[in-house]
Amino acid sequence: MDVIDRPLYELARLLESGEVSAEELAVEFLSRIDKVDGIVGAFVTVDREGTLSGARMADKARRAGEAPSHLAGIPIAVKDNMCTRGIETTCSSKMLRGFVPPYDAHVVERVKAAGMLVIGKTNLDEFAMGSSTENSALRVTRNPWNLQRVPGGSSGGSAAAVAASEAPAALGSDTGGSVRVPASYCGIVGMKPTYGLVSRYGVVAYASSLDQVGPLAANVRDCAIMLRVIAGHDPRDSMSIDAEIPDYEAQLGRDIAGKVIGLPKEYFAEGIEPGVRDAVLEAAKQLSKLGVEVEEVSLPTVEYALAAYYIIASSEASSNLARFDGVRYGHRAEGAVDSVSMFMKTRAEGFGPEVKRRIMMGTYSLSAGYYDAYYKKASQVRSTLKSDFDRVFERCDALLTPTAPTTAFPIGERIDDPMSMYMSDVCTVTANLAGIPGISLPCGWQDGLPIGMQLLGKRFSEATLLQLAYAYEQAAGYPSRKAPVTKDRGCCSCH
């Protein structure tokens, strides 16, 4: 039975009915990784033995009627900035090569509690700092739709793994668009939940007030399933919200007629490719046909959001990454004559250019004499942006925007142009600054590459966003299209 292209929800049904075993499923996905990951480069670690052993245990538990959930035995991929007990966690950095955590991140605990299997760890921009996964110190990840293009970042490995059918779902982290932009570029669904809905415990911190773990999947239903698995209160995360988690999957298919969606004019301004703009506006027409009221709105502070984001994110990165000093764990430089030189040499060797750039930018923003002009001003912009969203959400149930201003760009095109690279996140950073949820899903194609649209909602409106996304997805019929994963776009020998 060909299972690698089946959606997660169908795999769960096949396991429950006994039509396929968890071990058979594991073998199929491991074989798929063997077949295509040498080309795609989604994974930095594959836990072959652990996956097969876990699959056998899941089969045994299901036969005994003791499976922890209907998802038991389904493999998923996990971004390599999430701690996994007994499996190396590198953040795709030389600084953490060889680091094997003695504990699991909260989201990994929840995945395992559902009986799901961590098949491997996926590539990312180093310490999640980037928009293309080109900043990885370990390997290049390629877009399964066109292997000469980036998969987006920083969760590019997770998105590529799902798009290439190497895993039915994956976990990523989103600090400024790092789940949604890769989802857009790779033609899949990715969600950034409300800040605090998913615990950050065990996720290596980049910018603590912005970081949030989210699911990536081939379709909206699978995304809803995965969100329920990972969401929930965790007392080890001081920002974790103690709230009841709804059954997001059960709420899909509800009538969306009468919902109001806003089109913020600032997201359709200069810098958005015409093809992207047209695809998103066409999606708005499709939603109108489903009974949704669509109207133009304005969020004036969006103009300043990208600058504010990079000041705040870099400032928090400067603080968070101070712990990597060569003393407690991770890389330590050799040949240093004293502790100060060891500290400096370790960080010079261990961090890549983009991480160093953001640490220096953040340190400068926080320094005496510049704090008020940069960090304080950026925080004020953030507060005003939140107020803008609150005002718009008094009228609208959701906002519809492009996920990214372009489709996936060629590998190497922007790596030496940081400002051009940062613009990839211009449509997504606002959700992180405001702490609101956002979801990206496919809405069209340009030159054979996927275009993503983004739905934003008020805090804890994940159910509404998923309902809207599901209704559009079903009407548009996008889940059926699969990435070819071919060396030559005219050859399907790798599929």
Confidence class for position 482, pLDDT limits 50, 70, 90: confident
Average pLDDT estimate for 83-89: 98
At 400 the pLDDT is: 99
First CA to last CA across the chain, in angstroms? 16
At 219 the pLDDT is: 97
Confidence class for position 323, pLDDT limits 50, 70, 90: very high
**Both structure tokens of 87:** 């499996």
3-state secondary structure of 382: helix
3-state secondary structure of 245: coil
User: CA-based angle 134:479:68, to the nearest 5?
Assistant: 85
Beta carbons of 259 and 226 less than 8 angstroms apart:
no
pLDDT of 335 over the 80 cut = yes
At 406 the pLDDT is: 98
Q: Which residues of 385-421 are buried (b: 16+ CB within 10 A; e: fewer)?
A: bbebbeebbeebbbbbbbbbbbbbbebeebbeebeeb
Tell how strand 260-264 and strand 293-297 pair up: parallel
Per-residue CA distances from 77 to 41, 156, 386 (Å): 13, 12, 33
3-state secondary structure of 402: strand
Of residues 21, 79, 136, 424, which has the active-site annotation? 79
At 484 the pLDDT is: 87
Other Cβ atoms closer than 10 A to 475? 13
At 487 the pLDDT is: 59
Per-residue CA distances from 129 to 144, 239, 403 (Å): 22, 22, 18
Task: Specify which residues 398 forms β-bridges with.
Answer: 261
- Of 455 and 488, the one with more pLDDT: 455
pLDDT of 67 over the 60 cut = yes
CA 413/CA 401 separation, integer angstroms: 25
Q: For residue range 180-202, list pLDDT tens digits in order.
A: 999 999 999 999 999 999 999 99
- Of 1 and 93, the one with more pLDDT: 93
Question: The CATH number of the domain where 296 resides is what?
Answer: 3.90.1300.10
pLDDT of 383 over the 80 cut = yes
Other Cβ atoms closer than 10 A to 96? 24
Domain count, the chain: 1
Residue span of the structural domain in which 302 resides: 1-495
Q: Which residue from 69, 84, 63 is spatially nearest to 8, judged by alpha carbons? A: 69
Residues 6+ apart with CB under 8 A from 220: 189, 252, 439, 441, 466, 469, 470, 473, 479
Tokens 């490719």, located at residue: 273
Per-residue CA distances from 317 to 177, 312, 452 (Å): 16, 9, 28
Residue ranges with strand state E in 143-197:
169-173, 189-192
Look at the alpha carbons of 241, 242, 243, 245 in this order and tell me if their dihedral is positive or negative.
positive
Average pLDDT estimate for 447-471: 98
Average pLDDT estimate for 92-98: 97
**Quick one: which H or E segment has residue 3?**
none
Confidence class for position 478, pLDDT limits 50, 70, 90: confident
Task: Specify which residues 75 forms β-bridges with.
Answer: 117
At 485 the pLDDT is: 86
63 φ/ψ angles, rounded to the nearest 5 degrees: -65, -30
Of residues 92, 154, 173, 315, which has the active-site annotation? 154
Average pLDDT estimate for 72-95: 98
Mean pLDDT of the chain: 96
Average pLDDT estimate for 468-487: 85
Please give the radius of gyration of the chain, using alpha carbons only, rounded to the nearest integer.
Answer: 21
Q: For residue range 9-48, list pLDDT tens digits in order.
A: 999 999 999 999 999 999 999 999 999 999 999 999 999 9
Q: What is the pTM of this model?
A: 0.96
Is 461 noted as a catalytic residue in this protein? no
Look at the alpha carbons of 236, 223, 114, 92 in this order and tell me if their dihedral is positive or negative.
negative
Is 345 noted as a catalytic residue in this protein? no
Of residues 21, 92, 155, 178, which has the active-site annotation? 178
pLDDT of 480 over the 90 cut = no
474 φ/ψ angles, rounded to the nearest 5 degrees: -65, -40
Is 17 noted as a catalytic residue in this protein? no
